[in-house]
A and B are shown apart, each in its own frame.
Chain A
Amino acid sequence: MTPTTPEKTDTPTPILVVKDLNVVFRVKHHAVPIIKNISFNLFPKQTLGIVGESGSGKSVTALSVMKLIDTPPLLHMTGQILFQGRDLMTLSNRQMQPLRGKELGFIFQEPMTALNPVLTIKDQLVEMIRNHLKVTRREAVDRAVSLLTEVGMPNPGQRMRNYPHQLSGGMRQRAMIAMALSCNPKVLIADEPTTALDVTIQAQVLELFRTLQEERQMSLLFISHDLRVIAEIADQVMVMRDGKNIESANVDRLFHSPIRAYTRELLGLIRYQ
């Protein structure tokens, strides 16, 4: 499958290029291909939505970009992942560490389980900031407050001292987003960031993503099983099924004239709901 072509971008060089990505897992002594020849380009300030049903390989694709798939189950991974021209495939775990969180932010689906239950929001934010940036604790705390304000956390000064279980689902996801943004990543990878939230909070969080992306000029790799969410946020869309790229297109083209039967099927599901 050919990489997505940019149709409404002002800078032609993609910030993230994934080329012929193949990921094979070992399942009970058998090699099982999980991702099959996935290629895509992510352009600066744009959003690429990856959509597909459960088990289609969306999350594995996202974790592959971070090079965070454990061995086992990983058997081998081939292809190219070029971030600003640098092939992440050739980097060791130690070389990847400065990129993770600093250049490539990541947001998980379930904010309850993705925040450490025994550390306060402040501790987790400060830890994250000081891990990548050379700042004093005081500066890190100030930065944490301004990040929480930026993501619309009510009473950030007070919420900082809370543990995750003391926050509502929406606030937790805002805290997660603040953590992911804390070191100004160029690419933000969000793996089903709105799935665990109820519909009104979902709309607020999507709005927050749009605002943040505009203000910070980030590229966003947004994963969701929900085409409506993708329609709201993405510029380009890649439809995945069984680890394969079924169809990639500009969001308008995909929604108005889908080529593949599977895409039409997915779109049909929205219309019936």
Chain B
Amino acid sequence: MFQSKWTYIGAVIIAVFALAAIFAPWLAPYNPYDMRLAEQLSLPTLEHFMGQDANGVDIFSRLMHGARISLSVGVIVVLISGTIGITMGLVSGYYGGWPDTILMRLVDILMAFPGLLLAIALVSVLGPNILNVVIALTVLGWVSFARLVRGQVLSVKEREYIQAARTSGQSDARIMVVHIFPNILSPVIVQATFSVAGVIIAESSLSFLGLGAPPGTPSWGAMLSEGKQVILEAPHVSIFPGLAIMLVVMAFNFLGDGLRDRFDPKSTIN
């Protein structure tokens, strides 16, 4: 009961952020690029209830627009890297042999790098923009899916119903898609949920370092970075984007935990 309450809270927070992101152009009270230099760093007021940043832009409006970047990068990276990782894991686990060996060594190599450092290196080489952030995080992200799926496939492919599907003359591709994949979907969904949280943090970190969205774009990481310069005189400039990142990541983790408990009967014994 307690678990499901937190799952529910997580889902609601995500829904609120998602709606804010989707409808930001209509819901945001101000233009996120509208500079009012005379009002720079002003504290929260009734009109600007999260205050204004160093350029006098309304922080609340910028956060709403920033949610579009954070959430869409999170979801897009997980969709692409999940698709790649699931395909790799299915093929590798199902066929075994040399494709499996090659793929798993590649996974080991990628896992050996500290993730964020590799992302920084990739984005520096490719050039700092959002598309390259997506590419870098995808290159890192598929690995965990491939490993998870491979392990699951190794266990599921030995079940008798897979043998039964083979005796009924179904092709390998069909067996993988129709018979194996639905059986391993639950852990994949849980992994995807946690991955979105991880990607949002990574994107914010890259933007914080100036490797994400171009300067001036409303992005949570970049807003934190801008706030850092004035943290002593105007802490609200960095507090609100920081809170937004924390809330969203926490919400995805709550949801992931809840889904894991729901899908995995072993973890709900107590």
Contacting residues of chain B (162-209) with chain A, CB-CB under 8 angstroms: 163-171, 174, 178-179, 182-183, 185
CB-defined contacts of B170 to chain A, threshold 8 Å: 97, 101, 127-128, 131
Output the least CB separation between A112 and chain B (Å). 9
Output the least CB separation between A183 and chain B (Å). 8
User: Knowing A116-B179, A116-B183, A118-B183 touch, does A110 contact B160 (C-beta < 8 A)?
Assistant: yes
User: Knowing A116-B183, A118-B183 touch, does A108 contact B164 (C-beta < 8 A)?
Assistant: yes
Q: How far is the CA of A177 from the CA of B240 in the complex (A)?
A: 63
Q: How far is the CA of A115 from the CA of B185 in the complex (A)?
A: 18
Assess whether A117 is interfacial by the CB under 8 Å rule.
yes
Q: How far is the CA of A12 from the CA of B121 in the complex (A)?
A: 75
Assess whether B105 is interfacial by the CB under 8 Å rule.
no
CB-defined contacts of A117 to chain B, threshold 8 Å: 161, 183
Q: Contact between A98 and B169 (Cβ–Cβ < 8 Å)?
A: yes
Q: Contact between A116 and B161 (Cβ–Cβ < 8 Å)?
A: yes
Mask, A103-115, CB within 8 Å of B = 1, is 0001010100111
Output the least CB separation between A94 and chain B (Å). 8
Of listed B163, B166, B174, residue having the most chain A CB within 10 A: B166
Q: Contact between A132 and B169 (Cβ–Cβ < 8 Å)?
A: yes
For A66, give the chain B residue with the smallest CB separation.
Answer: B167
For A96, give the chain B residue with the smallest CB separation.
Answer: B169
CB-defined contacts of A127 to chain B, threshold 8 Å: 170, 174, 178
Output the least CB separation between B213 and chain A (Å). 41
Output the least CB separation between A132 and chain B (Å). 6
Q: Contact between A131 and B160 (Cβ–Cβ < 8 Å)?
A: no
Output the least CB separation between A91 and chain B (Å). 12
Assess whether A99 is interfacial by the CB under 8 Å rule.
yes
Assess whether A171 is interfacial by the CB under 8 Å rule.
no
CB-defined contacts of A102 to chain B, threshold 8 Å: 169
Assess whether A179 is interfacial by the CB under 8 Å rule.
yes
Mask, A124-135, CB within 8 Å of B = 1, is 000110011000
Assess whether A119 is interfacial by the CB under 8 Å rule.
yes
Assess whether B159 is interfacial by the CB under 8 Å rule.
yes
Partner among B168, B174, B182, B185 whose Cβ is within 8 Å of the Cβ of A100: B168
Give the total of A residues in contact with B, Cβ under 8 Å: 26
Q: How far is the CA of A7 from the CA of B164 in the complex (A)?
A: 33
Q: How far is the CA of A243 from the CA of B179 in the complex (A)?
A: 32
CB-defined contacts of A31 to chain B, threshold 8 Å: none
Q: Contact between B168 and A113 (Cβ–Cβ < 8 Å)?
A: no
Assess whether A259 is interfacial by the CB under 8 Å rule.
no
Output the least CB separation between B12 and chain A (Å). 29
Mask, A254-266, CB within 8 Å of B = 1, is 0000000000000
Partner among A99, A108, A176 whose Cβ is within 8 Å of the Cβ of B169: A99
For A98, give the chain B residue with the smallest CB separation.
Answer: B169
Assess whether A203 is interfacial by the CB under 8 Å rule.
no
Assess whether A27 is interfacial by the CB under 8 Å rule.
no
Output the least CB separation between B188 and chain A (Å). 13
CB-defined contacts of A108 to chain B, threshold 8 Å: 160, 163-164, 167
Q: Contact between B165 and A116 (Cβ–Cβ < 8 Å)?
A: yes
CB-defined contacts of B169 to chain A, threshold 8 Å: 96-102, 131-132
Output the least CB separation between A177 and chain B (Å). 12
Assess whether A1 is interfacial by the CB under 8 Å rule.
no
Q: How far is the CA of A226 from the CA of B166 in the complex (A)?
A: 27
CB-defined contacts of B161 to chain A, threshold 8 Å: 113-117
Q: Contact between A68 and B182 (Cβ–Cβ < 8 Å)?
A: no
Q: How far is the CA of A19 from the CA of B115 in the complex (A)?
A: 59
Q: Contact between A119 and B182 (Cβ–Cβ < 8 Å)?
A: yes
CB-defined contacts of B164 to chain A, threshold 8 Å: 106, 108, 114-115, 176
Contacting residues of chain A (38-83) with chain B, CB-CB under 8 angstroms: 66, 68
Q: How far is the CA of A11 from the CA of B171 in the complex (A)?
A: 34
User: Knowing A110-B160, A115-B161 touch, does A131 contact B167 (C-beta < 8 A)?
Assistant: no
Output the least CB separation between A195 and chain B (Å). 13
For A72, give the chain B residue with the smallest CB separation.
Answer: B96
CB-defined contacts of B166 to chain A, threshold 8 Å: 68, 100
Q: How far is the CA of A114 from the CA of B168 in the complex (A)?
A: 11
Interface pairs (16), CB distance under 8 Å? A68-B166, A97-B171, A98-B169, A99-B169, A100-B168, A100-B169, A101-B169, A110-B160, A113-B159, A113-B161, A115-B164, A116-B165, A116-B182, A118-B182, A118-B185, A131-B168
Beyond A108-B160, A115-B161, list 13 extra A-B contacts (CB 8 Å): A68-B166, A97-B169, A97-B170, A97-B171, A99-B169, A106-B164, A113-B159, A113-B161, A116-B179, A117-B183, A127-B174, A128-B168, A131-B170
5 A-B pairs closest in CB distance: A100-B169, A101-B168, A101-B169, A106-B167, A113-B160
Which residues on A are within 8 Å of B, measured CB to CB? 66, 68, 96-102, 106, 108, 110, 113-119, 127-128, 131-132, 176, 179-180
